[in-house]
């Protein structure tokens, strides 16, 4: 039997918009500072889980809330299980928004708001795929679970908790990337580089603080340095000249009686594609190094390391971790969190996306060699995720690619990315949509949006794909 999934999806357009708006209004950023036993990741992620499950409960689906950090929506019957894995959490709104990031705005057929593209819009499309299958009474021989996490942008606490207590599918996809398919994901690891104590000596200027970045997977949009002491008389002129020769970088300076605050702004980007960003922190360091400042030893060492090893680099060439694989492509590297205080932590967090053929331990060793083991300690921060690949000949990949082509008329082909999705959790797991090919990647950026027509189209594609996989 033939089903008109496209028409069914279009009939739900206004409902999808309404539900997506409700999800965007939830600031579901990880907030462990306000965690409670009932809300281990904070109130926002818990509210995100409750809101998403509430949509399904409203419509009569069976759901399960797992400790307010994960959950699922169930559909179908059978012994075998197919999974769709999505997430309700978001990265921080950050700077540069034209509107309130958590108040959805519809303009020119797009819904603006943090999480609209990553991953609340695709989540809505995946949920309405289940509604379409149910309401069209499509017969299935397998069960489908739409599994929700609430910490995908950080440490995956939610989905890890879910895997400890709940049945997990072996096959499925994550609607958290782009079409035609993502069947390969590079390894992901963050490395904390900590500067050891530097002996003091007299200087005219002291770097009292240097800070930038809010998440390991976001290229910092802004960076701030606080300086005390006597700056060169031409300091502001030197700053103006630096900005003239570094297009896209802006700065604000506040000169006080006892200290000077300098804030530099660049362009944010997802850590999987740092090349499209302008790292405000490394540009700030580059300016300070070029400004002719007699800087204190610790500050000078910190700034010199940033400029020597990290500035204008996104492939790890200066540190010697550069690597490429024929199948998975090149390694990417971006320094995303900077913390420097004279009497406190002096560190840099570097996020690396690496292909098969290398590993996190080897990268750590090389970073320590580059920075110098006598001056810096380098550790793997958190849990490294190895590369993941599902062959393009796998029936899952072939089915999803054919579904995409049938709905769009566009050719399907395998894609390997530096981003990380829940697809890598499954033995045969991939990422599938909802970003259309050649669309600008606005995930993690200010003024994030998703086209309404793409949400609707994805609901149809997902419904058809699930039908083919589960019939």
At residue 109, the 3 state secondary structure works out as coil
Would you call 153 a catalytic residue per the annotation? no
Would you call 152 a catalytic residue per the annotation? yes
The Cα–Cα gap between 222 and 94 comes to 10
CB 44 within 8 A of CB 29: yes
The Cα–Cα gap between 450 and 437 comes to 13
How many Cβ atoms are within 10 Å of 392's Cβ, its own excluded?
15
- 37 contacts: CB under 8 Å, gap ≥ 6: none
Distances (CA, A) of 430 to 117, 129, 144, 328, 433: 18, 18, 16, 15, 10
Report the run of H or E that residue 192 belongs to, with start and end. Answer: strand 187-195
Distances (CA, A) of 434 to 31, 124, 273, 445, 455: 27, 10, 18, 17, 7
> Of the residues 29, 89, 313, 414, which is catalytic?
89
> Of the residues 151, 152, 153, 454, which is catalytic?
152
Torsion over CA: 225, 345, 33, 385 (sign): positive
Closest CA relative to residue 420, chosen from 321, 353, 350, 358: 353
- Residues noted as catalytic: 89, 152
């Amino acid at each position: 039997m033939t089903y008109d999934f496209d028409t069914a999806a279009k009939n739900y357009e206004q409902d999808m918009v309404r539900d997506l708006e409700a999800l965007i209004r939830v600031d579901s950023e990880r907030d462990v500072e306000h965690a409670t036993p009932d809300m281990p990741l904070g109130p926002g992620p818990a509210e995100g889980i409750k809101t998403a499950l509430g949509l399904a409960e409203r419509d009569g689906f069976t759901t399960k809330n797992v400790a307010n950090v994960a959950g699922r929506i169930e559909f179908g019957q059978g012994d075998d299980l197919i999974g769709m894995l999505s997430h309700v959490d978001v990265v921080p709104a950050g700077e540069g928004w034209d509107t309130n990031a958590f108040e959805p705005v519809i303009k020119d057929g797009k819904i603006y708001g943090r999480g609209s593209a990553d991953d609340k819009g695709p989540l809505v499309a995946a949920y309405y795929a289940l509604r379409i299958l149910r309401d069209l009474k499509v017969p299935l021989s397998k069960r489908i679970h739409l599994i929700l996490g609430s910490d995908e942008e950080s440490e995956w606490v939610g989905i890890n908790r879910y895997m400890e207590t709940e049945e997990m599918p072996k096959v499925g996809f994550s609607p958290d990337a782009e079409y035609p398919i993502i069947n390969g994901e590079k390894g992901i690891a963050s490395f904390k580089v900590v500067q050891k104590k530097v002996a003091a000596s007299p200087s005219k200027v002291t770097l009292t603080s240097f800070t930038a970045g809010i998440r390991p997977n976001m290229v910092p949009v802004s960076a701030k340095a606080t300086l005390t002491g006597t700056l060169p008389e031409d300091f502001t002129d030197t700053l103006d000249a630096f900005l003239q020769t570094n297009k896209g970088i802006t700065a604000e300076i506040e000169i006080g009686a006892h200290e000077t605050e300098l804030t530099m702004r660049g362009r944010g980007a997802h850590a999987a594609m740092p090349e499209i960003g302008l790292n405000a922190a490394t540009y700030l360091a580059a300016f300070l190094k070029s400004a002719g400042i007699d800087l204190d030893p610790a500050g000078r060492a910190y700034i010199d390391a940033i400029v020597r090893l990290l500035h204008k680099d996104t492939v790890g060439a200066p540190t010697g971790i550069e690597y490429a694989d024929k199948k998975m492509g090149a390694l990417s590297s971006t320094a995303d969190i900077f913390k420097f205080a004279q009497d406190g932590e002096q560190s840099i967090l570097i996020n690396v996306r690496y292909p098969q053929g290398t590993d996190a331990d080897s990268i750590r060793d090389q970073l320590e060699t580059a920075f110098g083991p006598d001056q810096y300690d380098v550790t793997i921060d958190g849990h490294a995720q190895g590369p993941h690949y599902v062959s393009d000949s796998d029936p899952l990949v072939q089915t999803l690619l054919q579904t995409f082509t049938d709905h769009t008329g566009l050719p399907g082909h395998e894609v390997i990315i530096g981003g990380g999705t829940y697809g890598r959790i499954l033995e045969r797991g991939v990422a599938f949509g909802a970003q259309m090919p050649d669309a600008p990647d606005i995930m993690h950026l200010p003024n994030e949006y998703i086209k309404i027509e793409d949400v609707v189209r994805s609901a149809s594609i997902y419904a058809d794909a699930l039908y083919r996989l589960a019939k």
